[in-house]
Amino acid sequence: MEAFLTSTAVVALAEIGDKTMLLAIVLATRFRKPMPIILGILFATIANHALAALVGASVAGFLASDWFRYLVAASFIVMGLWTLIPDTFDEDDKPGGARGAFLTTLVAFFLVEMGDKTQIATIALGARYLDVWLVAAGTTLGMMIANVPAVFLGEALVKRVPLGVVRAVAAALFVAIGVWMLAEVAGWI
């Protein structure tokens, strides 16, 4: 259960203000059909994060040494610092075409999430907990917690949520997990 809850919290906080959240807002204002957008986000995230958690768990299984655990802990700290850097979303990055809200959202979210900090966090969480399903379920729930309100509230959400504060909290969470893991591997706790 720890893997699920930690994964949910880490990704929900990290996702606020992320480029995929901005994509959700753009898609909501473009298509004005919330349910196909939400389902597209859900299915794209399940696929992307299940693969990411599997990669993390697989790599951890092969490299179960202390140096690998230090690397995973350091990745959380780097994620925390990366979270402090705001994402941008250019108008040119908007998905286009008449393929429909669901398909456009599915493809756009899957591609935009590739290499994103929440995907990398999912890989790290998969390596940390070695539980692909709980990590993928938690990170998917975290994405939905952050993105569903963005779909419904659109730009009003961005105007009301102090993204700098949320980024700082997410960064602190990532760094705290990384430091805790470092202390655990070093035998300090």
25-78 residue pLDDT tens = 878 877 778 899 999 999 999 999 999 999 988 876 665 567 767 876 787 788
Q: Classify the phi-psi angles of 42: left when phi > 0, otherwise alpha if psi is within -120 to 50, otherwise beta.
A: alpha
CB-based contacts of 97-102 (< 8 A; 24+ apart in sequence): 100/36, 101/27, 101/31, 101/33, 101/36, 101/37, 101/40, 102/36, 102/37, 102/39, 102/40
Please report, for the chain, the start and end positions of each structural domain, with discontinuous segments joined by +. 2-186
Give the integer Cα–Cα distance in Å for 161 and 153.
Answer: 11
115-148 residue pLDDT tens = 788 888 899 899 889 899 999 999 999 999 999 9
